[in-house]
Amino acid sequence: RLGLKTTIFGKTIQYLESTDSTQKVAHQLAQEGCPDGTLVIAEEQTNGRGRLARNWHSPKYTGIWMSLVLRPKLPPAKAPQFTLIAAVAVARAIEDICEISPDIKWPNDLLLNGKKITGILTELQADSDKINAIIMGIGMNVNQKEQDFPKELHNNATSLAIETGKEISRSELVKRILENLEKYYLLYLEKGFAPLKLLWESYAVSLGKDIIARTISGNISGKALGITEEGVLKIEDQNGQIHKIYSADIEMK
Ligand code: BTN
């Protein structure tokens, strides 16, 4: 229906008018053994989930709320790289369709003018040594107007329509996201993470800057040096000590 030029991604599509969370539906399908590349996409989510147990505002017909099931034959330690691959694929899709270039804030936020345009939630179903499924959730603010955002999001979130002054075709964007994702996923399987790390770094805003990483075990401030081959963020504190950050919220100073 989308006229997709992909061979794996989006070959099986579950389209829903309304659901609580596409992420939840995709987890269920993965457990039932759905094929690699299965897409769950909804017009509205009544209980969209963000990282760190936050909720994700997903009003009807205005955004892209989708979750993709991936089944790479890889160890679970590789999973964080998929968030970065998704961020690059989505950033490129925004450039292709809207001719504006978003910034990526580690690990998964896409920003335009410092405000969030897309969030990515990568979740894992795995044994100790092998991935059963990666559930890659993508939430993109596309055609919302300023007044469609709840007050508390006004300073932090924006939409492609607000930033470009144009209504954007959601189906064109979904198509491009899936095509880019598949391209980068296959590149990753063939050549490893190195080429994607370079691409990711070309969009990253915080590299070389002073940041604060808020982690569950406390805050670390210092200079963002880059990401490792695993997709983990490296920060150098004022004593020259290097910290590896696996999960955090980043604030730029
Ligand atoms: C974040 O930045 O916190 C991640 C947001 C992820 C939102 C998407 S929307 C589609 C999928 N279903 C959900 O419930 N969440 C993700």
ipTM, two decimals: 0.99
Distance (Å, whole) CA 205 – CA 117: 14
Domain limits of the chain?
13-203, 210-252
State which ligand 1 atom lies nearest to the alpha carbon of 116.
2
CB 157 near ligand 1, within 6 Å: no
CB 27 near ligand 1, within 6 Å: no
Look at residue 230 in the predicted model and tell me its pLDDT.
86
Are 13-203 and 210-252 equal in CATH topology? no
1-5 long-range contacts, CB within 8 A, separation 24+: 2/171, 2/174, 2/175, 2/178, 3/175, 4/175, 4/178, 4/179, 5/179
Find out if CATH 3.90.930.12 is the number for domain 13-203: no
CB 46 near ligand 1, within 6 Å: no
CB 51 near ligand 1, within 6 Å: yes
Look at residue 1 in the predicted model and tell me its pLDDT.
58
232-239 long-range contacts, CB within 8 A, separation 24+: 232/80, 233/106, 233/107, 235/211
Q: Which CATH number is 210-252 given?
A: 2.30.30.100
CB 6 near ligand 1, within 6 Å: no
Burial 204-240 (b: 16+ CB within 10 A, else e): bbbbeeebebeeeeeebebbbeebeeebbbbbeeeee
Look at residue 110 in the predicted model and tell me its pLDDT.
96
Tokens of 53: 């147990």
From atom 2 of ligand 1, which residue's Cα is the shortest distance away?
A: 119
Contact 93, 177 (CB under 8 A): yes
Distance, CA 90 to ligand 1 centroid (Å)? 14
Q: What is the mean pLDDT of each run of 10 residues along the chain (253 residues)?
A: 84 96 98 96 97 91 97 92 94 96 91 96 93 97 95 91 97 96 95 94 89 92 91 93 91 83
